[in-house]
Amino acid sequence: MTQNAKAKTFFIVYVPALALSYLIAFFGHFFGGSTDLSARSIWACFLAIGTWIFTLPFLIGFVCLVGVFCERRQSHSTVWRSFMTSIAIIAIGCLWISHQFMLTTPKARFEKLVITPIPKSAKIARQGGLVTMDSEFWVLQFKIAKDEFLQLVNESRFVKEAKDHDLERWRKLIEMNAGISPDFTGNWTTYLLKEGRKERRLFFNESSEDAFFVLTVRP
């Protein structure tokens, strides 16, 4: 293969493949990120770079395999090879993005962060939060029957916090980082579970059966 042919193959086949793979990595990490769009975009950019670098050897090998397939089909067109490579990458990328999206639904988040399986009476309303390189603040708002909530607390070993817990401070934190405005007026009880850098909190109102779960991961 001449130098011109190699350059043509690189720009027509490899460059689009590399660009597509980065875009797929970006959108895969974009789902489930911070509530704030700019913070989510920045986070997705950084994660996509890491994913792209990690998968680069596999991507190059995959492009070469597609090239071999095209040659066996007696198709030596560089454009056709680029088209087939792009279609294959998009198909795989769509599957991966769909998988990533399913992992970030409110139901999936609840099962991952709170408890599995989800209690029958639990109705998840909203979620939101802030994710950075070394910290996380994530909120789930839901309704749940009192008996199932107490069962959740006991099974997960949450500890009841003091009555004078600063609910107003938490209201501001939730509103600022998750875009959710909780109404903490009334009889709210707070439960805490510490796991190293992670702190999991449950806020529960027995009268309305409203609940909030807050995960904080500190730097």
Domain ranges of the chain: 3-103, 106-217
pLDDT band at 131 (very low <50, low <70, confident <90, very high): confident
Beta-strand runs (E) in the chain? 123-131, 136-143, 159-160, 188-195, 198-205, 210-217
Please tell me which residue, 160 or 32, carries the higher pLDDT value.
Answer: 160
Question: How far is the C-alpha of 70 from the C-alpha of 81, rounded, in Å?
Answer: 6
Per residue in 79-115, pLDDT (tens digit) is: 777 888 888 889 999 998 998 889 889 999 999 999 9
pLDDT band at 135 (very low <50, low <70, confident <90, very high): confident
Tokens of 90: 């998009």
| Alpha carbon distances (Å) from 163 to 104, 160, 178, 191 | 33, 9, 24, 10
Going by CATH, does the domain composed of 106-217 fall within 3.40.1000?
yes
Tokens of 58: 């596999």
**Confidence check: pLDDT of 44 > 70:** yes
Please tell me which residue, 115 or 40, carries the higher pLDDT value.
Answer: 115
User: Which residues are 195's β-sheet partners?
Assistant: 198
Question: How far is the C-alpha of 45 from the C-alpha of 201, rounded, in Å?
Answer: 30
pLDDT band at 28 (very low <50, low <70, confident <90, very high): confident
Tokens of 13: 């086949």
